Amino acid sequence: MVWMVNQQVGRGRSRTWGVALLCWLFIMLVTPKIPLSYRNHLYADMRNFVGVPNTLNVITNFPFLIVGVLGFVLCLGGGSFFNIRLPGEMWGWLLFYGGTASVAFGSAYYHLRPDDNRVLLDTLPMTIAYSSLFSTFILERLGERIGLSCLFSLVVLAVLSTSYARTFNDLRLCMIFQLIPCIAIPIMTFLFPPKYTHSRYWLWTVGVFILAKMEALADMKIYRANNYIISGHSLEHLCSAIAPVLVTVMLMHRSCRFPRKSYCFLLLGSGSHDRLGEIKECP
């Protein structure tokens, strides 16, 4: 019976990966190539303060460092600060906060002198953070085994997609990595029951990500609207940094919705006849 259940679960996972592969192939076939160009590196606000090029686009990455390092340290504290019950969750959250802290260095380095060579250091930490966050969400909703397999697979694909963008001058894979969690997390939130409370924070996090991308697209319009004080791209950095703050608050306040208890069944036997004697909660 157990073998049949495992076989059905394995088939379900294979179908899931097969559907995901077909969707990826479909997107790559129907969407045009998105090449890197000098226009990708031209931002509305390129002012120089105190000798730092593109000053606001550089210093607005600092919140990523604060939140990333703080979250990483709190994760190492385990149950003292965050409600993390599964070892697989710990790996996912550590990678997420590590990627978030790395965004601060990669993005600041890129914005000091934006070009095709430095943009990978901006993109790679971001895709790793997206991948680990999405994998952790899958682990929470669908189980530890599938979550860990997604974590490993998506991180590898994040590295490959970044390499693909530089090698073939095509940004589509990187954009897909940023788009998929924003679509899949809200859908899966309503399809699969949460293990923890405060699951609404996942939706708020996705909302913040979408708002940040809209600010980036309206870079110059926002810059003009506020009389050239701060650009949309700088606001994107600040808004994106709110997302790890939200998940940090979620981890600190959430609790298990359905506490799982295991029980030991003691068989009291006499001769060839056994009977169920006592039920105790296992330590």
The whole-number average pLDDT for the span 23-52 is: 81
- What integer pLDDT is reported at residue 262 of this predicted model? 39
- What integer pLDDT is reported at residue 234 of this predicted model? 96
Handedness of CA 214, 216, 219, 223 (dihedral sign): positive
Q: Is the pLDDT of residue 26 over 80?
A: no
Please name each of the domains of the chain with its CATH number.
54-255 (1.20.1070.10)
34 pLDDT band (50/70/90 cuts)? confident
260 pLDDT band (50/70/90 cuts)? very low
The whole-number average pLDDT for the span 207-225 is: 95
Q: Is the pLDDT of residue 44 over 50?
A: yes
| Higher pLDDT, residue 31 or 268 | 31
- Which two structure tokens, joined as six digits, stand for 19? 């559907």
The whole-number average pLDDT for the span 83-98 is: 88
Counting residues of the chain whose pLDDT is more than 70, the rounded percentage is: 82
Orientation angle between helical segments 200-217 and 232-253, nearest 10 degrees: 170
CB count in 10 Å sphere of residue 66:
15
- What integer pLDDT is reported at residue 16 of this predicted model? 58
Strand locations in the chain, DSSP E? 263-270, 273-281
| Higher pLDDT, residue 21 or 53 | 53
Q: How far apart are CA 169 and CA 166, in angstroms?
A: 5
Q: What's the mean pLDDT when you consider all of the chain?
A: 82
